[in-house]
Amino acid sequence: MLYEQLIINAAVLGAVFTLFALGLSLTWGALDVLNLAHGATFVTSAWVATSVYSAYELPLASAMLVGILTGGMIGVVADLVAFKPIRLLITNKRQAELSMVAATIGMGFVLDRIIGRATLDQVFSFPARAFPYKDFHIFGARISNIEIIILVLTFLCAVLLNLWISRSRQGMAIRAIAYSAKIPPLLGIHVDRMSAATMAIGGMLAGLSGTLMTVWVSGMAVSTGHSFLLKGFAIVVLGGVGSIRGCVLAAFILAFAETGIVAFGAGNLRDLAAFSLIVLILLFRPQGLFGTRSAMRA
């Protein structure tokens, strides 16, 4: 009975991690952006959704949609004001990577402080009446309706994203950009447009996980974004940068590891899981579980 419950909890946590990390993995894989503003995007989307909900009494689903679109918009703005000029101005790859990291630090800072001021760095959430929580029982364990929604949505997002990246023309274009910076423009690929689209999708995924997370644990704060960011990086590195399947698998590995650590009484060692996974995978399989890119390794 206890184990079944633990497995369900870990699976839902893994699903939220997946949604969050998919966006990171996509932008790192395609655009070489280590997006340190991803956590802030996640929090900002959730905050916009909750404020829109309480200000305009919208139905919950539309408020969440507004939050998700906000995430997408942040991604597009980031691409327009930072990544596009950097691509134009800086040709050295390492320099461009560093500049992009710095730019996302600045952006994350701006978002963090705006939300921090608006919420006075307190926990915010949807009002309790916003979502009709209901519990179901399977195999003697309890699973609520929001948990089922999270699992289903995550599954759909991961499958659709994987199909899109591997089968569609745009997906091919994104993979081409990830492979080389010089060739895609010669093939008639709009690098700027695809990059904005990738950032938009990454941002929307952050928004989706942020709003779902807020409904699920009914609470979110600026600091949640920071801890998710670090875990997201662990997942991306573990799964292999740019690999959707790897990202899903790694998210569940991390979620089960964390749940296991907490269940066996070492709750305060919980955060160790993510970082020891990063170090282990980087030492023994730097390209990640499903990674194909070994160029980074000298």
The rounded distance, in Å, linking the Cα atoms of 187 and 66 is 36
**What are the phi and psi torsion angles at 264 (to 5°)?**
-95, 25
Let me know: does 34 contact 237? Beta carbons within 8 Å: no
Let me know: does 63 contact 238? Beta carbons within 8 Å: no
Minimum separation from the CB atom of position 128 to another protein (A) = 31
Residues numbered 4 to 43 that lie near another protein (CB under 8 A) are 28, 32, 34, 36
Minimum separation from the CB atom of position 253 to another protein (A) = 16
Q: Would you state the structure tokens that stand for residue 295, as one six-digit string?
A: 């160029």
Q: Would you state the structure tokens that stand for residue 119, as one six-digit string?
A: 């919420």
Size of the site for another protein (CB under 8 A): 51
R_g over Cα of the chain: 19
The number of residues making up the chain comes to: 298
Q: Which is nearer to another protein, 114 or 289 (CB)?
A: 114
Q: Which is nearer to another protein, 138 or 279 (CB)?
A: 279
Q: Which is nearer to another protein, 96 or 146 (CB)?
A: 96
The rounded distance, in Å, linking the Cα atoms of 196 and 201 is 9
Per-residue mark of binding to another protein, 60-99 (x: CB under 8 A):
---------------------xx--xx--xx-x-xx-xxx
Minimum separation from the CB atom of position 35 to another protein (A) = 11
Q: Tokens 């939220």 sit at which residue?
A: 16
The rounded distance, in Å, linking the Cα atoms of 129 and 202 is 30
What percent of the chain is helix, strand and coil (3-state, nearest 5)? 75, 5, 20
Per-residue mark of binding to another protein, 106-125 (x: CB under 8 A):
xxxxx-xxx--x--------
- Interaction between residue 141 and another protein (CB under 8 A): no
CA atoms within 13 A on the CB side of 77: 14
Minimum separation from the CB atom of position 279 to another protein (A) = 5
The rounded distance, in Å, linking the Cα atoms of 33 and 190 is 18
Residues numbered 223 to 242 that lie near another protein (CB under 8 A) are 226, 229-230, 233-234, 237
Minimum separation from the CB atom of position 286 to another protein (A) = 6
Q: Which residues are at the interface with another protein (CB under 8 A)?
A: 28, 32, 34, 36, 81-82, 85-86, 89-90, 92, 94-95, 97-103, 105-110, 112-114, 117, 226, 229-230, 233-234, 237, 268-269, 271-272, 274-276, 278-279, 282-283, 286, 296-298
